[in-house]
Amino acid sequence: MALLPLLFFPDPRLHTIAKPVAAVDERIRRLVDDMLETMYEAKGIGLAATQVDVHERLIVIDVSEQRDQAVVLINPKVVWTSSETHRNEEGCLSVPGIYDGVERFDAITVSALDAAGQPRVVQAEGLLAVCIQHEMDHLLGKVFVEYLSPLKRNRIKTKMLKAQREESR
């Protein structure tokens, strides 16, 4: 297994639209293992392939306290959404240190392939539902700060670029 380098906002590659995974083969299984290791090491609850500069429809999530209930969704598709929505506090490993509220469906049903390439249906609510929606946005090239006002988004962009400049010194 290997730790993968993350892309950080405002890297334009975060806006790439991911393509479907053509086959769940050895390459994809290795990518899943590496993404899980990267997510756990970064103390995240989710990670989309987009964030490690792989533009294929694959996300990994673990919202469990024990960090032992990984969910792997390949070619995920939302097949149902609740009528209720709520504003939830979100963060993003690609936008470190920034947290803000985003409106999301309370519950969703998603169909996808698992790490073994088997079809599965996931009914999600609470943090799992929020996290799946956040990760699926990444696959569409959307970062959560794009839901915020242009003023907030520009302030975040400036802050990130300054931090990246200082880190590369």
The catalytic site residues sit at: 135
* Site size for ligand K1U (CB under 6 A): 17
Residue 73 CB, nearest distance to ligand K1U (Å)?
13
**Binding pattern to ligand K1U, positions 37-76, x when CB under 6 A?**
------xxxxxx----------------------------
Assess whether the previous peptide bond of 10 is cis (omega < 30° from 0).
Answer: yes
Interacting stretch for ligand K1U, rule CB under 6 A, among 69-77, 78-86, 87-95, 157-165?
A: 87-95
In three-state secondary structure terms, 157 is helix
Nearer to ligand K1U, 113 or 128 (CB): 128
**Spatial separation of the C-alpha atoms in residues 80 and 50, rounded to whole Å:** 24
Other C-beta atoms closer than 10 Å to the C-beta of 80 total: 12
- The answer to the question of residue 135 lying near ligand K1U (CB under 6 A) is yes
- Residue 131 interacting entry, from Zn ion, ligand K1U, none, C-beta within 5 to 8 Å by type: ligand K1U
- Residue 45 interacting entry, from ligand K1U, Zn ion, none, C-beta within 5 to 8 Å by type: ligand K1U
- The answer to the question of residue 92 lying near Zn ion (CB under 5 A) is yes
Query: Residue 13 burial (CB < 10 Å; 0-12/13-18/19+)?
Result: exposed
- Residue 26 interacting entry, from ligand K1U, Zn ion, none, C-beta within 5 to 8 Å by type: none
Distances in Å between the Cα of 129 and the Cα atoms of 13, 23, 55 are 25, 26, 22
Starting from the edge strand earliest in sequence, which strands make up the sheet with 119-125, in order? 46-48, 58-61, 71-81, 107-113, 119-125
